Structure 1
Amino acid sequence: MKIAVLEQDRPQADLICQVLSAAGHSCQSYDSAKELLGQLRKDSADMLVMDWNVPDMEGAEVLRRAKEKLASTAPTMFLVGNNAEDDIIAGVTAGADDYLVKPLRRGELVARVSALLRRAYPSQNSAEQLQFGPYTFETRPGRLLRDGSVIDVTQKEFSLALLFFRNIGRPLSRAYIHESVWVRENDVPSRTMDTHVSRVRNKLHLRPENGFRLVPVYSYGYRLEKLGA
């Protein structure tokens, strides 16, 4: 699903898009109401997530104008700070479908967005399933299973594992992995990527005896290998 995000706080916007992208959605963020509404005139979205307090327009007015450009079924969610009861009442009164209180929790964000999209687009509820041997990736909820049992992974680990399985046998550079999984996070320490790769290897048991091997490629990156019987 294509989700538009209005959030003037760039790190917050990047986090939202990172989490929603890892859950299988297409996400585009905007810094101002003017920018968002201008884009919606050209290209609509399946859902809007918006900060209720942006400097260039009142939240209720942003919501009203956005709804004129969005499909009638497109759900809207607004974000407010702690102790913002008046903003919550205003947002719900203005017709928003749901809200979240900052600081955001990743799991709750994905769950609330998924619930709204399921209600808005019942014909598209089925999760895309990708099968790689004993591993099943359910992209919509971001769930990973091995032989039918759920593996406890974070959204980042899910995205990283799926990237490797979609590129079995292909060396992936550290730069490519960074751009694919960490998206707009510019200063990701090398050890952070290595730690996540190690966690994926251990949680998924990517060892020769299980038919897969996740190995470093010297001075380049990593490669997932599928071994013969």
Structure 2
Amino acid sequence: MARDILLIEDDRSLGAVIKDFLEREGYLVQWCTTGEEGLTFLEHTAVKLVLLDIMLPDIDGFTVCTKIRSTQSLPVIIISARSGDDDQITGLNLGADDYMGKPFSIGLLLAKIKSQLRRSYGKQAETPFLRDKDLVVDTASRTVCLNETPISLTVKEYELLVLLLENAGKTLQKDWLFDMVWGVDCFSEPSTLTVHIGKLREKIEADPKKPRRIKTVWGVGYRYETL
């Protein structure tokens, strides 16, 4: 079950703290620092929940919330220093599901996220396991087992595997995979993705030279096929 969160926050210190904390809790977090960047990301990628700041450098969070609500029903939690009653009423009237004033408790934020996921997706939102026959990924503990035996993955290999499993059956473009795992500002060579796919195949495929799970879609990217 995907548990992706889109964080739209221009405060780099706070954004880094939120992203790091939530990822340690087992969530996959995409962090955007402008409203337009967040909306563009949502046009191409499905997420489960949005954490949204109001005071952004381009368009304000109220506008972002309105645009999200015009096309999607996923839960939105506003996090903002503008915590007066008028701002909270505006945000909630525009479709936000919750509103947290800054500064806030990171533990309370986590509780609100879990509450919104339960409300929107039921018990499935609390299921931390991704499975493909004998391959099991526990996203809460970030552990992977094959044939009930733990296998050791690097951070990037783990993130790649989770993305592939969550999008099983879909062809994922190389550029998108690279940006999701290494970040749009990363200066690593695109060939880094190919190398990591190869190492991941060595760890989860019975025959890495004839992969049954991670398929190459020539000229496009990769597709995960369940067994």
TM norm structure 1:
0.54
Letter in 1 for 2:75: P
Give the equivalent residue in structure 2 for 1:63: 65
The residue correspondences of 1:27-46 to structure 2 (distance < 5 A) are 27-46=29-48
Q: Deviations over 1:173-227 (max 9, x none)?
A: xxx78xx9xx99xxxxxxxxxxxxxxxxxxxxxxxxxxxxxxxxxxxxxxxxxxx
Contact 1:77–1:100, Cα closer than 8 Å, also in 2:
yes
Contact 1:7–1:13, Cα closer than 8 Å, also in 2:
yes
Secondary structure of the structure 2 residue equivalent to 1:121: helix
What is the alpha-carbon distance in structure 2 between the residues aligned to residue 21 and residue 64 of structure 1? 27
Contact 2:54–2:82, Cα closer than 8 Å, also in 1:
no
Contact 1:2–1:27, Cα closer than 8 Å, also in 2:
yes
Give the CA RMSD over aligned residues: 3.4
Runs of 4 or more consecutive aligned structure 1 residues displaced over 6 Å after TM superposition = 167-170
What is the alpha-carbon distance in structure 2 between the residues aligned to residue 169 and residue 117 of structure 1? 29
2:25 is aligned with 1:23: yes
Aligned length: 149
Q: Deviations over 1:115-146 (max 9, x none)?
A: 000100014144437xxxxxxxx865xxxxxx
Q: Deviations over 1:90-139 (max 9, x none)?
A: 1111110001121232211111100000100014144437xxxxxxxx86
Taking structure 1 as reference, are residues 57 and 41 closer, same or farther at Cα in structure 2, changes over 3 Å only?
same
Taking structure 1 as reference, are residues 38 and 127 closer, same or farther at Cα in structure 2, changes over 3 Å only?
closer
Q: Percent identity?
A: 27
Letter in 2 for 1:118: R
Secondary structure of the structure 2 residue equivalent to 1:79: strand
Letter in 2 for 1:104: F
Contact 2:69–2:95, Cα closer than 8 Å, also in 1:
no
The correspondence for 2:53, drawn from 43, 51, 54, is 51
TM norm structure 2:
0.55
Contact 2:54–2:78, Cα closer than 8 Å, also in 1:
yes
What is the alpha-carbon distance in structure 2 between the residues aligned to residue 53 and residue 169 of structure 1? 43
Taking structure 1 as reference, are residues 82 and 169 closer, same or farther at Cα in structure 2, changes over 3 Å only?
same
Letter in 2 for 1:2: D
Give the equivalent residue in structure 2 for 1:212: none
Q: CA deviation at 1:60?
A: 2.1
Secondary structure of the structure 2 residue equivalent to 1:100: strand
Contact 1:3–1:25, Cα closer than 8 Å, also in 2:
yes
Q: CA deviation at 1:82?
A: 6.2
Letter in 2 for 1:124: Q
Unmatched tracts of structure 2, length 5 or more: 130-137, 159-181, 184-227
Taking structure 1 as reference, are residues 124 and 168 closer, same or farther at Cα in structure 2, changes over 3 Å only?
closer
What is the alpha-carbon distance in structure 1 between the residues aligned to residue 83 and residue 98 of structure 2? 17
